[in-house]
């Protein structure tokens, strides 16, 4: 799944968790947001 790879990349790239979350949400339309929340 490319989305999962991007998620990991975004998280590592962004220092603050909030920024990373926002970026992911914008990229995957909030679909990854659930994954982050679960983790």
Tracing tokens 């994954």 back to the chain, one arrives at: 35
In terms of residue numbers, what domain contains 34?
2-38
Model pLDDT, residue 1 = 45
Contact present, 33 and 25 (Cβ < 8 Å): yes
Positions in the chain short of pLDDT 50: 1, 6-7, 14
Model pLDDT, residue 36 = 58
| Number of domain units in the chain | 1
Tracing tokens 């990229």 back to the chain, one arrives at: 27
């Amino acid at each position: 799944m490319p989305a999962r790879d991007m998620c990991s990349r975004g998280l590592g790239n962004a220092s603050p968790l909030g920024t990373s979350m926002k970026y992911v949400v914008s990229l995957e339309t909030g679909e990854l947001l659930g994954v982050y929340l679960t983790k």
